[in-house]
Amino acid sequence: ETGVTQSPTHLIKTRGQQVTLRCSSQSGHNTVSWYQQALGQGPQFIFQYYREEENGRGNFPPRFSGLQFPNYSSELNVNALELDDSALYLCASSLQAAELFFGEGSRLTVL
Amino acid sequence: KQEVTQIPAALSVPEGENLVLNCSFTDSAIYNLQWFRQDPGKGLTSLLLIQSSQREQTSGRLNASLDKSSGRSTLYIAASQPGDSATYLCAVIPYSGGSNYKLTFGKGTLLTVNP
């Protein structure tokens, strides 16, 4: 167990809807990153938060947004869902550039 | 742009065999390299972290090496067991000089260890 918890574990949405995924980081970690993993692919970096500020973003459109809270937990929000957003969404926490620890992920299916 | 390649894409071995998984990356300016294990439908479990100044790391039956100049890393698994069956992912953190510690992943190697 890494101490990184994500919710919900599975969810189904329809095109055009909005979704919020949540992540509780490991105690003492101040950096949270979000990744999208499509079936059969490696995870792709969405963005990273450090001390409540976004400090890096991958090649994802603005409808992917996030927040980090004072307790370093985080949310990933996706608006106007598309079929291609179906994926496993992974949250990772770390103490800056040290070893990253991942949660079990949230499996999103968009119909 | 950093690209990470893992070879082979899939590997099937009999129990007890020693094996090597390969990872290559295009930009040698990396901060860290991390190996992960992923079971089907699950999250990633960190196996080994190698910092850019290190050449190898060991944990139990696992040994990971890093050759930055050639852009390569290997994960050696000794005396493989059926419980080692999983997808193994290699990821690098580029040295950006800033605070953005983004991992770039390969697609993984699917390992099957047959009893």
The β-bridge partners of B37 are B45, B88
What are the φ and ψ backbone dihedral angles of A5, each rounded to 5 degrees?
-115, 140
How high is the pLDDT of residue B93? 86
Report how many helices (DSSP H) and strands (DSSP E) chain B contains, helices first: 0, 11
CB-nearest to B103 from A6, A55, A100 is A100
For residue A92, the tally of other CB atoms under 10 A from its CB is: 28
Judge contact between A13 and A89, C-beta under 8 A: no
CB-nearest to A100 from B34, B98, B99 is B34
How high is the pLDDT of residue A32? 92
How high is the pLDDT of residue A99? 81
| Mutation target among A30, A57, A102 for the B interface, most CBs of B within 10 A | A102
For residue A35, the tally of other CB atoms under 10 A from its CB is: 27
CA B28 to chain A, closest CA, distance in angstroms equals: 17
CA A16 to chain B, closest CA, distance in angstroms equals: 25
For residue A6, list chain B residues with Cβ-Cβ distance below 8 A.
43
**pLDDT tens for the 115 residues of chain B, in order:** 889 999 999 999 999 999 999 999 998 888 889 999 999 989 999 999 998 889 999 999 999 999 999 999 999 999 999 999 999 999 998 876 555 678 899 999 999 999 9
CA A53 to chain B, closest CA, distance in angstroms equals: 11
Nearest to B15 by CA among B60, B61, B73: B61
Residue B45 and residue A27: Cα distance in Å, rounded? Answer: 17
**Interchain CB distance below 8 Å, A105 and B42:** yes
Judge contact between A67 and A75, C-beta under 8 A: yes
Which residues of chain A are modeled with pLDDT < 50? Answer: none
C-alpha pair distances (Å), A102 with each of A54, A69, B13: 19, 18, 28
How high is the pLDDT of residue A98? 73
